[in-house]
Amino acid sequence: MMDINDDFLELSGHKFSSRFILGSGKFSLSLLEAAIKDAKAQIVTLALRRVNDGGSENILDFIPKDITILPNTSGARNADEAVRIAKLARELGCGDFVKVECIKDSRYLLPDNYETIKATEKLANLGFVVMPYMYPDLNVARDLVNAGAACVMPLGAPIGTNKGLATREFIKILIDEIDLPVIVDAGIGSPSQACEAMQMGCAAVMANTAIATSGDVRAMAKAFALSIEAGRLAYLAGLGEVSEIARASSPLSGFLE
């Protein structure tokens, strides 16, 4: 039988037993640490912003030390801005991981794939573990592989919408054709959607809004952790075939007369 304990998410040689990447936005800081624990997350995303007057409390105080920090480049509209933000984030001393976000559109927050490829290439050359947020396009995913990405992070639906796997068919193509981990990011709104992504063969799921805006943050974090583990196990086990007509489960002989 499959042993999920021997199953790791590998990103540029870094191994993780958890396949749930938790976003830290929209949480009250007091709930964040518990949510990370309930989510069994080992990677947590953060953003970078100007310091505010008098803001001595910092989110890093609420994140356990064994967690891998994944800074995003939110706010970047092009590759150069993403590189600038990534360098500043690395200067804060939380490692080399970066989630590239290059976004010009403010209504749907869709990533600019062209700028994302450019940023990925520059950051990979600077030694970053680059995790690019992208619109699920196979040609772009191939360019990201060539640019040195550690994975690809296609969106399921626009950020924060909780609409789920609207891009399902295109993510499936990436899973089939790309050798890097495919991590579905953005739009995942429920544990069942996360489970489906994992069953399809996604290597991990990232979520934030679905948990942060739920009625019970800790319970929802746990529900996601369980669903992602279940989906992964189902994928490893191999789903049974789908049939258009009924196939009897019970023997079709030896009926009582």
Partner 1 sequence: MLIINGKDESAFIGKSVDEFACQKGFNKEYMAVEINGEILPRDKFDSKFNDGDRVEIVCFVGGG
* Positions marked catalytic: 99
Count interface residues toward partner 1 (CB under 8 A). Answer: 39
Q: Is 2 in the site for partner 1 (CB under 8 A)?
A: no
* Closest approach of partner 1 to the CB of residue 4, in Å: 26
Window 34 to 63, contacts with partner 1 (CB under 8 A)? 45-51, 53-56, 58-60
Residue type at 35 in one-letter notation:
A
Task: Kindly report each contact of residues 30-36 with a partner whose C-beta sits within 8 Å and lies 24 or more positions away, as own/partner.
Answer: 30/62, 31/217, 31/218, 32/59, 32/62, 32/63, 33/62, 33/63, 33/64, 34/217, 34/218, 35/211, 35/212, 35/217, 35/218, 35/221, 36/63, 36/64, 36/67, 36/221
227 makes contact with partner 1 (CB under 8 A): no
**Closest CB to partner 1 among 166 and 234?**
166
| Residue closer to partner 1 (CB basis): 31 or 233 | 31
Draw the binding track, 162-191, toward partner 1 (x: CB under 8 A; -: no contact).
Answer: ------------------------x-----
**DSSP letter for each residue of 11-31:** ETTEEES--EEEE-TT--HHH
Stretch touching partner 1 by CB under 8 A, among 86-94, 110-118, 167-175, 224-232: 86-94
